[in-house]
Amino acid sequence: MSYLSDRSLRYRAGRGIPLGPAPSFGVIVQVQVFSEKAGVLFTVHPLEPDGVTSYIEANFGTGESVVGGLTTPDAITVDRSDAGVVDMHVATKRRMTSVSPERAGSRIVELADDRKNAPVLTDSEAKRIARMGLHIEELFSGPQDIEWAFDSHGLWILQSRPITGLASEAG
């Protein structure tokens, strides 16, 4: 157990952190995804408390540009009953974040003119993300905030957590 490894014990001792009980969480190590497009999915649209739609934000490259607010992403509203696209707002995207096997870390890249106003997702990709999200929502018994990415191999689910602060919870 790494919690009790020499390195971990030295780290705590050097900082005056008590040992305490063993942590009750796990760590997952995942392969690096060199995404071509990425974003977030809210399985219940955060601004529509009736719960009939899901909401996707997407940009080219990694999801860092979406979750970090570096760009205005495309916004896609999807019907929860059939995963059909209800509304798609294609934003003018000026930048994306990128990772590659040739270079450590991520970098901000200016988008080429032909991609700035191009939709990030096809309807079928949006539908696939939405369906996967609803399956995850069912597994976790509640609405989810999901980070996803597409690379040359397909769709990856990077993270899922419960949605907090839905409009229906506030009222």
Q: Looking at residue 158, which CATH number applies to its domain?
A: 3.30.470.20
Look over the chain and give the mean of its residue pLDDT values, rounded to a whole number. Answer: 90
C-alpha to C-alpha distance for 19 and 70, rounded to whole angstroms: 39
Owning domain of residue 85? 31-170
Q: Is 15 inside a domain boundary?
A: no
pTM (2 d.p.) = 0.80
In a domain, 17, yes or no: no
What is the reported pLDDT for 169? 53
Q: How many domains does the chain have?
A: 1
Cα-based distances in Å from 126 to 38, 77, 130, 133, 169: 11, 9, 6, 10, 26
Residue 163: CB atoms within 10 A of its CB come to 17
**Residue 90 located in a structural domain:** yes
Determine, yes or no, domain membership for 13.
no
Please state, in angstroms and rounded to a whole number, the distance separating the CA atoms of residues 104 and 168: 42
Q: Are 46 and 56 in contact (CB under 8 A)?
A: no
Tell me whether residue 66 is in a domain. yes
- What DSSP line would sit under 97-126, residue for residue? EEEETTEEEEEEEEPPHHHHTS-SS-HHHH
Residue 1: predicted pLDDT: 53
Does residue 14 lie in a domain region? no
| pLDDT average, residue stretch 74-98 | 96
Please state, for a pLDDT cut of 90, what percent of the chain lies above it.
Answer: 65
pLDDT beyond 90 at 171 = no
pLDDT higher than 80, residue 92: yes
**In the predicted model, what is the mean pLDDT of residues 141-164?**
94
Buried b (16+ CB within 10 A) or exposed e, 78-102: bebeebebeebebbebebbbbbeee
- Evaluate whether residue 154 is within a structural domain: yes
93 occurs within a structural domain: yes
Query: Which pLDDT band holds residue 170 (cuts at 50, 70, 90)?
Result: very low
pLDDT band for 48, please (50, 70, 90 cuts).
Answer: confident
Q: Is the pLDDT of residue 38 over 80?
A: yes
